[in-house]
């Protein structure tokens, strides 16, 4: 079974940093890209960052220059380094692996950014 487990969320003041981690099943991690999405209360889920199997990255305009996605293939882990956090970054953050048109999600980790 596919397993994605996020960690690293928490409460941080504006301007601070957090690093999120997603440990994935090696079988699913090794065959494609990974992504981070977030969903704030009452709002739709949005793509934050994505990375292909080859290491190519893309970011939402709102996080460019502040967030960095990376992957450790040996450990089947994808990271999201979040710097200069803003209150509008507050959301549940989810790890995503899309395979054969199906999205596999972790249970999420909450990031709360206070003023």
Tokens of 33: 């890209």
Residue 12: what are its φ and ψ, rounded to 5°? Answer: -145, 150
Q: What percent of the chain has pLDDT over 90?
A: 84
Q: If pLDDT is split at 50, 70 and 90, which confidence band does 76 have?
A: very high
- Helix or strand or coil: residue 73? helix
d(CA 64, CA 76) in angstroms, rounded, equals 24
Q: How far is CA 20 from CA 1, 8, 57, in A?
A: 22, 4, 16
Higher pLDDT, residue 81 or 27: 81
Is the separation of the CB atoms in 103 and 33 below 8 Å?
A: no
């Amino acid at each position: 079974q596919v397993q994605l487990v996020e960690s690293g969320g928490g409460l941080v003041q504006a301007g601070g940093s957090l690093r999120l981690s997603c440990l994935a099943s090696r079988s699913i991690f090794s065959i494609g890209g990974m992504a981070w999405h977030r969903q704030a209360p009452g709002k739709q889920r949005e793509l934050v960052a994505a990375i292909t199997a080859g290491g190519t990255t893309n970011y939402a305009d709102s996080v460019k220059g502040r967030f960095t996605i990376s992957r450790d293939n040996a450990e089947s882990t994808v990271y999201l380094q979040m710097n200069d956090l803003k209150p509008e970054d507050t959301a549940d953050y989810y790890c995503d692996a899309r395979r054969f048109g199906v999205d596999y999600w972790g249970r999420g980790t909450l990031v709360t950014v206070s003023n």
